[in-house]
Amino acid sequence: MTDLTTEQLHDVTVYVNGVARSATVPARRLLSDFLRHDLGLTGTHVGCEHGVCGACTVLVDGQPMRSCLMFAVTAQDHQVTTVEGLCTAPDARPCATGERMNPAQQAFAECHGLQCGFCTPGFLTTVTAYLEENPEPSEAEAREAISGNLCRCTGYQNIVKSVLRAAEIRAERRGEQYAADPADPADPADPASTRGPAPRHTASGDGEAPR
């Protein structure tokens, strides 16, 4: 084992929600801890730290992955979307509180798809990416899509409803977008289209659990 006092540090740069973010960290820094501790993006929650609960799921190059099962050094130069980044997606809209929400966020709010909210960031990232792949899931497909995320409060019923509702909202917003600018519809096949331009993150709407 390496001596702690001589543990080598690495300069790591990751494109988080479209912005290059850097920190100097030991090689063993998990991506989840890098996001939370080093970058202060506490929207990503850490549950089990061995890949079972799904709370820490983020999008790496558009694909959902467990941030507790990746090292920050391995994420060097990759694109990471956290729950904070969902509100800057092209299909995010201002909600009643003035914050922006993407279709998944809006649907979870409407359908009461959360109670304590701890697992929610992982569900939101997972569902956002899933709808890119399957924009019109059946109820059974919606259930399977979230099988890798654990929720200890809801019993999942409202989460399944939220996934189906998110698909509806997403389709509505795609329609509006197309009506506004038929020449440049967001390409549903392009995962980059969910990542949005690259405005700097603001602390709003990160789905943090009440303390």
Measure the N-to-C terminal CA separation of the chain; round to a whole number of Å.
Answer: 37
Binders of other proteins in range 99-158 (CB under 8 A): 126, 130, 144-145, 147-148
Among residues 65, 87, 107, 166, the one that binds other proteins under rule CB under 8 A: 65
Q: What is the dihedral of CA 9, 60, 205, 154, to 10 degrees?
A: -110
**DSSP characters for 87-123?**
TTSTT-EE-TTS-EE-HHHHHHHHTT--SS-SSHHHH
Per CB under 8 A, the segment of 14-22, 60-68, 159-167, 179-187 that binds other proteins is 60-68
User: Which H or E element spans position 60?
Assistant: strand 57-60
CB of residue 162 to other proteins, shortest distance in Å: 18
Biggest CA pair distance of the chain: 61
Span near other proteins by CB under 8 A; candidates 51-59, 157-165, 170-178, 195-203: 51-59
Stretch that binds other proteins, among 50-58, 96-104, 167-175, 196-204 (CB under 8 A): 50-58
The tokens 């694109």 sit on which residue?
79
Is residue 64 part of the contact set for other proteins (CB under 8 A)? yes
Which residues on adjacent β-strands are paired with residue 16? 19, 80
Under rule CB under 8 A, residue 189 binds other proteins: no
- Please name the amino acid found at residue 60: V
The yes or no reply on residue 63 touching other proteins (CB under 8 A) is yes
Q: Is 204 in the site for other proteins (CB under 8 A)?
A: no
φ/ψ region of 87 (left if φ > 0, alpha if ψ in -120 to 50, else beta) reads alpha
Cβ-based neighbours of 144, under 8 Å, separated by 6 or more: none
Q: Is 206 in the site for other proteins (CB under 8 A)?
A: no
Q: How far is the CB of 139 from other proteins (least distance, A)?
A: 14
Total residues at interface with other proteins (CB under 8 A):
34
Stretch that binds other proteins, among 24-32, 84-92, 102-110, 185-193 (CB under 8 A): 24-32
Report the interface residues with other proteins, using CB under 8 A: 1-4, 7-8, 10, 26-28, 30, 33, 49-51, 54, 57, 60, 63-66, 68-71, 73-74, 126, 130, 144-145, 147-148
